[in-house]
Chain A
Amino acid sequence: AQSVTQLDSHVSVSEGTPVLLRCNYSSSYSPSLFWYVQHPNKGLQLLLKYTSAATLVKGINGFEAEFKKSETSFHLTKPSAHMSDAAEYFCVVSDGGQNFVFGPGTRLSVLP
């Protein structure tokens, strides 16, 4: 069985400071991992995905994530937060098939 833990339900940062959203996963398979973002009243947008190639994955809008197998982690980072980054972020694990398992989400607030 697969599962995802997002260690913080809410993260608050000041504009221009770094962002770190933490994700740990559990999977019996060699997992595929994703980060999705959900703005209020909007659908989910893919930020980036890990597919067993490079462990450091670059996504859209300056986000990146590093896959660490020994720590079963896939934390999302961004060097400098922008007001438009305020949203809900979901870490997702997949066994490569139809089974997408979402974490509970982390709400990111960006203060001016």
Chain B
Amino acid sequence: ETGVTQSPTHLIKTRGQQVTLRCSSQSGHNTVSWYQQALGQGPQFIFQYYREEENGRGNFPPRFSGLQFPNYSSELNVNALELDDSALYLCASSTPGQGVYEQYFGPGTRLTVT
């Protein structure tokens, strides 16, 4: 069973640029959630995708957008990068079912905006 993978591992961008981060979900999981973890803080929920549709969104501006593909992999796009976007971006996959489901996290992408 393959776990959650993310690419790239690290990324350096300039303020105002755009970035795309990628996530492959764990085998059998149809839901992907994205989180932003600033240095020294807990992860903050950005949004979730379920069967290629956005299924909930946290308190992030529209310049944070996403996609989910038929194979359940996902992209996070951030436009007009700001210095405060520098963070670890985590992807988590899960399969909603009866009862509670846990999320399985990838290793993250470290984004630095200069």
Chain A neighbourhood of B99, CB < 8 A:
51
Select A94's contact among B40, B42, B100, B107, beta carbons within 8 Å.
B100
Structural contact, A46 and B4, CB atoms closer than 8 A: no
Select B100's contact among A32, A36, A43, A102, beta carbons within 8 Å.
A32
Structural contact, A96 and B104, CB atoms closer than 8 A: no
A103 CB → nearest B CB, Å: 6
A94–B101 alpha-carbon span in the complex (Å): 10
Decide: A46 near B102, CB < 8 A? Known: A98-B55, A98-B56.
Answer: yes
A42–B105 alpha-carbon span in the complex (Å): 10
Select B108's contact among A43, A45, A49, beta carbons within 8 Å.
A43
Structural contact, B33 and A49, CB atoms closer than 8 A: no
Main secondary structure of the interface of A (DSSP, over half): strand
A3–B57 alpha-carbon span in the complex (Å): 16
B95 CB → nearest A CB, Å: 12
Chain B neighbourhood of A104, CB < 8 A:
41-42
Decide: A97 near B56, CB < 8 A? Known: A49-B102, A51-B100.
Answer: yes
Structural contact, B100 and A49, CB atoms closer than 8 A: yes
Select B105's contact among A32, A43, A94, beta carbons within 8 Å.
A43
The A71-104 residues at the B interface (CB cut-off 8 A) are 90, 94, 96-104
Chain A neighbourhood of B41, CB < 8 A:
104-105
A45–B102 alpha-carbon span in the complex (Å): 10
Which of A51, A98, A104 counts the most chain B CB atoms within 10 A?
A98
Structural contact, B107 and A90, CB atoms closer than 8 A: no
Structural contact, A101 and B45, CB atoms closer than 8 A: yes
Chain A neighbourhood of B48, CB < 8 A:
98
Chain B neighbourhood of A45, CB < 8 A:
105
Chain B neighbourhood of A94, CB < 8 A:
100
Residues of B that sit less than 8 Å from A by CB:
4, 31, 33, 35, 40-45, 48, 50, 55-56, 90, 92, 99-100, 102-108
Can you report 5 A-B residue pairs in the complex whose CB atoms are below 8 A from each other?
Answer: A36-B105, A41-B107, A44-B90, A100-B33, A105-B41
